[in-house]
């Protein structure tokens, strides 16, 4: 059975071109077209479809708002954003709205066909340029404190943290370091205060995450 595609773009020639190319695929068929976001919402309500290929920049209602509204009314819809824009604002917002993929209009049709099949299968499809945008967005949103915590530890505290994570108790660490148990306990307390972690289990998880030790 062919995948049923709804094509949404404000340019008639683009819709006609997409229809012609998609209909050549043995497993796909364009069942409807829309020229605005509002029209896409109306058609999506009444038209049985597997994937909506959604333009982002349109008059009347943009593709981001249309995506959000369609998924509110038809939560099973699978939407593939298609745009000229690789700007983070467009990428992030339409994915937050619920789109399952983001493709740029300068790709070859073969990639669009692959993206449609992937989205229809419930997978997420992003081209490399868009993936880079998402990674940068993620890194920018990591709390500053999270990136600085481990740097706040002295080299000696990092060594002790590693030994704690490796399962050594205060007595064993003191013996290995040739210092008193009280000194190790004081340094362990300092580590906990700096990291805001107050159990051996959470310290161990932190050390694994930071690459100070491993699960082995």
pLDDT digits (tens, 9 = 90+) for 85-134: 877 788 888 999 999 999 999 999 999 999 999 999 999 999 888 888 78
Where do the CATH 3.40.50.2300 domains begin and end in the chain? 3-141
Are 38 and 10 contacting, i.e. CB atoms less than 8 angstroms apart? no
Residue 18 has pLDDT above 90, yes or no: yes
Model confidence over 39-53: pLDDT tens digits? Answer: 999 999 988 999 999
Render pLDDT for 140-194 as a digit per residue (tens, 0 to 9).
Answer: 665 544 544 555 788 888 889 888 988 899 999 999 999 999 999 999 999 888 8
| Predicted confidence (pLDDT) per residue in 55-70, tens digit | 998 877 899 999 999 9
pLDDT above 90 (res 35)? yes
Contacts of 93 (CB under 8 A, 6+ apart): 64
- What is the topology classification, in CATH, of domain 144-209? Arc Repressor Mutant, subunit A (1.10.10)
Q: CA-CA distance, 202 to 207, in Å (whole number)?
A: 9
Q: Is the pLDDT confidence value at 32 over 50?
A: yes
Strand order in the sheet with 51-55: 28-34, 3-8, 51-55, 79-83, 101-104, 125-126
Which structure tokens are listed for 152? 């706040």
In which residue ranges of the chain is CATH 1.10.10.10 found?
A: 144-209
**Residue 51 contacts residue 78 (beta carbons within 8 Å):** yes
Higher pLDDT, 6 or 210: 6
Nearest to 6 by CA among 37, 24, 26: 37
Dihedral of the CA atoms 39, 42, 43, 48 (nearest 10)?
A: 150
Q: So what's the pLDDT on residue 100?
A: 95
Query: 79 and 59 in contact (C-beta within 8 Å)?
Result: no
Give me the pLDDT at residue 75, please.
93
* pLDDT, tens digit (0-9, with 9 covering 90-100), for 193-211: 888 888 888 888 888 877 7
Higher-confidence position of 207 and 78: 78
Contact 61, 36 (CB under 8 A): yes
> What residue ranges in 56-93 does DSSP mark as E strands?
79-83
Residue 201's pLDDT is what?
87
* Confidence category of residue 7, pLDDT binned at 50, 70, 90: very high
CATH number of 3-141: 3.40.50.2300
No. of helices (H) and no. of strands (E), the chain: 11, 6
In this prediction, residue 144 carries a pLDDT of 46
């Amino acid at each position: 059975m062919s995948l049923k595609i709804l094509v949404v773009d404000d340019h008639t020639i683009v819709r006609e071109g997409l229809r012609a190319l998609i209909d050549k695929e043995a497993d796909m068929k364009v069942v409807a077209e829309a020229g605005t976001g509002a029209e896409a919402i109306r058609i999506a309500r009444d038209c049985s479809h597997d994937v909506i290929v959604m333009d982002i920049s349109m008059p009347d209602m943009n593709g981001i708002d249309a995506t959000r509204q369609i998924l509110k009314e038809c939560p099973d819809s699978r939407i593939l954003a298609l745009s000229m824009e690789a700007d983070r604002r467009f990428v992030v917002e339409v994915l937050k709205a619920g789109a399952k993929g983001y493709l740029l209009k300068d790709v070859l049709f073969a990639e669009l066909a692959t993206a449609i099949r992937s989205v229809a299968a419930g997978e997420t499809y992003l081209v490399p340029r868009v993936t880079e945008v998402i990674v940068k967005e993620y890194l920018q949103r990591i709390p500053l404190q999270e990136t600085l915590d481990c740097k706040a530890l002295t080299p000696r505290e990092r060594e002790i943290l590693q030994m704690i994570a490796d399962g050594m108790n205060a007595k064993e660490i003191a013996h290995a370091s040739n210092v008193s148990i009280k000194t190790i306990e004081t340094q362990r307390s300092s580590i906990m205060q700096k990291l805001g972690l107050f159990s051996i289990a959470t310290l161990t998880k932190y050390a694994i995450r930071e690459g100070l030790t491993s699960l082995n």
